Amino acid sequence: MSPFSRALKYPLRYKRYLVVTIVCVLLGALCYGGGIGTIYPILKLIISQEGPHGWADIRMSEDMMGVTLRSNVFAAGVKVELDKVKPDSPAELAGLKIRDTILAVDGNEVDLPSFVRLVAQMKASEVITLRWENEQGTESVQSIELKQARLDARIIAVLTDLLPRGLENRFLALAYILGLFWLINVMQSLTRFVQSYNAGIMIERGLLELRTKVYRNALSLPLKFYDLQGGSSDVASRFVQDSPTIKRGMKVLFTQAMLEPFKFLAALILALLCSWKLTLVVLAVAPVVLLLVTKLGKLMKKATRRSLQVWGNILGLLNETLSNIRVVKAYGSEGYEHRRFFRANRQLLKYLIRIARVDALTSPTVALLGISMATVGLLFACKLALPAGPGMKPEMAPETLFTFFGGIFGMAESLRKMSSVPNKLQASNAAAGRVFALLDQEKEHEERGAPELQPLSRQIEFENVSFSYPGAIDRALKEIDLVVPKGQTVALVGPNGSGKTTLISLLPRFFDPDTGRVVFDGQDIHKVTLHSLRKQMAMVTQQTVVFADTVAANIAYGRVRTGRERIIEAAKRAHAHEFIELLPQGYDTVLSEGGENLSGGQRQRISIARAILRDPEILILDEATSNIDADSEAKISQALAEFTVSRTCLIVAHRFATVMAADFIAVMDQGRIVARGTHEQLLASCPLYHGLYETQFVTGPSNNEG
């Protein structure tokens, strides 16, 4: 199944709108055919002698008697001559023959107009007495029983009866027909509106559902996915760029793609009614058009997919540059960024131009083919419309010819409108492919029917854990064995890149170990529900994260019903209350995205308040290594010291105070735990720790990361 048809399932759930859409399509097509069809009675009124009434009468009477009348001249005093007598017809049974002339009906003399009027008004199986003469002038009298006329003749009779009769009323009749023409067009516009509106509702609702589902899925994708792929920008672009492209395709599908084929069909039926042979000649060109349009559609799909990928890159670039605008400015790299943006855009331009080319090519090519086919058809049609000799009736009446023209042009027109449909559908298909690729990504692993993790009662164990990042050459963690008893605080120390952040990332299962396991009280955390696992812990990451929301909402994060008192209490315990109070709107101050209006230390204290409010059993803290002023540092340390009492804590420590407060310290280097013990033990036994202590802890954090 193509991605686009998968996407279609969403709007198609709204069956009610679909039904209305289909009804509108059918009505619209009927109006289209009807609109073109009005050419016929109009021309009948203007060009032909017999007019619509005479025409209907002739058809009725011919049908009821089973004859063909010579009717190229239709005027008072013209004789009723027979051109053909059908076998087994009432006329033949009565003994009428070709070239006979009917003189009287039921004893009254008749000419052609009065005869057809008279017969057309009779009912089926009524008996009339005819008097006629043959070519030699011999007269006969015989009664004949009329039969039922064909349905189409009867319909035409009923319809023409609605028009005023008589030559003097022709203008009025024309006005009637034009009025009908107008009504048909009103109806058509109305159906177009309802159809388009309905389709819009259906599509928007369906896409809302799809977007929500994709978003939910995007949130539960493993971090690995975001690390590997174009990352968050690529995912964002699938919402921003791809979903409108899908929408355009659906819109086309539920309007043009549904309506135009039926309009084509209506015009085709009209043309077939005029002359089925000529119509078939014209249709011979259709396969060429189809082939061409499919080919162009494929080109479109390829170009669209590429362009959407590049769009994703550009969005990534924008996001990266704009969120790091300080660095860009500080390093004066505006020119560099500008060139990067320009290059990516130029690449995009290539594909966009390709799309424009295919797009521009489609409509004129198809139009040209349509016109070619119409010209061929018309050439043959004109031949049929010319009389074969002087005084002879042409095989095709002019009004039929023009109606045929109308039908053919109607077909060509709806074909032209359909021509852009495959392109748009293919573009949409490409976009849907990208969206579903996201939806089909494997989510974070959770075993079917996994049990809840019980609250920690004894210890957390890392058992021989190794882990490497996707695509990395070296392992980030190598055979780690570590036991953290409940209620104790472990400080992880080590040089940059030694694997501290990676190790603590295994606890909430941001990543799963390649070998070995992480165990809570003997329970492998891989085998329990993610929710029950993550519920037990709070995490303060190295890059403190602040959302574009109020301070209070940032602390309560996600728990909308938390009371203000509890938020303030948590802020007090994190020593954040004092600076929050000084903000312009206090707890209701809206922080900027990324928290630019706070200092690094303040952001960190907000993060800690968030963790305190959550009141977790296990606290995971990745200390920021950025410079924090001495006052902040003291406050953070104090807050932590109060908070870590009787909680199980894993703390990546960059500060002496934190290290000292820990129950024991694990020293990491190049993915391994190289030593563990208390501060004094390690100072004596571990040269690496000694070095770290001298350079980092005593002189204060010297690096500027975080």
Ligand X SMILES: Nc1ncnc2c1ncn2[C@@H]1O[C@H](COP(=O)(O)OP(=O)(O)OP(=O)(O)O)[C@@H](O)[C@H]1O
Among positions 409-448, residues that touch ligand X (CB under 6 A) are none
Which of ligand X, Mg ion, none interacts with 502 (beta carbon under 5 to 8 A by kind)? ligand X
Q: How far is Cα 660 from Cα 625, in angstroms, rounded to an integer?
A: 17
DSSP assignment of 265-312, as one string? HHHHHHHHHH-HHHHHHHHTTHHHHHHHHHHHHHHHHHHHHHHHHHHH
Applying CB under 6 A, the span of 64-72, 498-506, 550-558, 674-682 interacting with ligand X comes to 498-506
Which span (39-47, 175-183, 253-261, 491-499) binds ligand X, by CB under 6 A?
491-499
263, 268, 270, 276 alpha-carbon torsion, rounded to 10°: -170
Q: Which one among 410, 494, 516, 601 touches ligand X, defined by CB under 6 A? A: 494
CA dist., res. 538 & res. 338, Å (int): 40
For residue 130, give every residue at least 6 positions away whose Cβ sits within 8 Å of its Cβ, in sequence order, or none. 94, 96, 102, 104, 105, 141, 142, 143, 144
Rounded to a whole number of angstroms, the minimum distance from the CB of residue 192 to ligand X is 53
Identify which of residues 34 and 499 has a Cβ nearer to ligand X in the complex: 499
* Sole window of 238-246, 270-278, 500-508, 610-618 interacting with ligand X (rule: CB under 6 A): 500-508
Regarding 626 and contact with ligand X (CB under 6 A), the answer is no
Closer by beta carbon to ligand X, 4 or else 689: 689
When asked if residue 500 is in the footprint of ligand X (CB under 6 A), the reply is yes
Helices (H), ranges, 628-668: 630-644, 656-661
Tell which one of 499, 516, 595, 601 touches ligand X (CB under 6 A): 499
Quote the least distance from Cβ 659 to Mg ion, whole Å: 15
- Closest to ligand X by CB, 410 vs 499, is 499
* Minimum CB distance to Mg ion smaller for 191 or for 498: 498
Instruction: Quote the tokens at residue 369.
Output: 């083919």
Assess 228 for contact with ligand X (CB under 6 A). no
The two beta strands, 459-467 and 139-145, are unpaired
Q: Which does 403 bind (CB under 5 to 8 A by kind): Mg ion, ligand X, none?
A: none
Please identify which residue in 322, 472, 634, 684 interacts with ligand X, judged by CB under 6 A: 472
Indicate left, alpha or beta for 51 from its phi (over 0: left) and psi (-120 to 50: alpha). Answer: left
CA distance 35 to 404: 13
Q: Of these partners, ligand X, Mg ion, none, which one is at the site of residue 510 (CB under 5 to 8 Å by kind)?
A: none
The pairing of strands 618-622 and 648-652 is parallel
Helix (H, G, I), strand (E, B) or coil at 253: helix
Question: Which one of Mg ion, ligand X, none is in contact with 705 (Cβ closer than 5 to 8 A by kind)?
Answer: ligand X
Candidates 212, 294, 496, 585; binder of ligand X (CB under 6 A) is: 496
Which of ligand X, Mg ion, none does 498 bind, CB closer than 5 to 8 A by kind?
ligand X
Judged by CB, which is closer to ligand X: 87, or 471?
Answer: 471
Query: H helices within 38-87, ranges in order?
Result: 39-46, 51-65
Count residues contacting ligand X (CB under 6 A)? 14
Pick the binder of ligand X from 169, 324, 501, 599 (CB under 6 A).
501
Does position 502 interact with ligand X (CB under 6 A)? The reply is: yes
- Of the ranges 210-218, 327-335, 356-364, 494-502, which one interacts with ligand X (CB under 6 A)? 494-502
Burial 187-202 (b: 16+ CB within 10 A, else e): bbeebbebbeebbbeb
Minimum distance from CB of 482 to Mg ion (Å)? 16
Closest distance to Mg ion from the beta carbon of 594 (Å) = 19
Q: Helices 3-12 and 398-440 sit at what angle, rounded to 10 degrees? A: 100
Residue 160 interacts with which of ligand X, Mg ion, none, CB < 5 to 8 Å by class: none
Among 237, 414, 498, 648, binds ligand X (CB under 6 A): 498
- For ligand X, the binding residue among 421, 427, 432, 476 (CB under 6 A) is 476
Radius of gyration, CA atoms only, the chain: 43
Smallest distance from ligand X to CB 357, Å: 40
| Nearest residue to 623 via CA among 661, 577, 592 | 661
Residue range at the interface with ligand X (CB under 6 A); choices 77-85, 170-178, 230-238, 469-477: 469-477
CA distances from 542 to 38, 288, 553, 626 (A): 77, 64, 21, 9
CB 246 within 8 A of CB 5: no
Name the packing angle between helices 276-283 and 398-440 (round to 10°).
40
Binding residues among 634-653 for ligand X as defined by CB under 6 A: none
Residues that bind Mg ion (CB under 5 A): 501, 542
Neighbouring residues of 298: CB distance < 8 A, sequence distance ≥ 6? 426
Asked if 544 interacts with ligand X (CB under 6 A), we say no
Pick what 488 binds: Mg ion, ligand X, none; C-beta below 5 to 8 Å, kind-dependent.
none
Task: Supply 347's token pair.
Answer: 């690449």
User: Which residues make up the interface to ligand X (CB under 6 A)?
Assistant: 227, 469, 472, 476, 494, 496-502, 542, 705
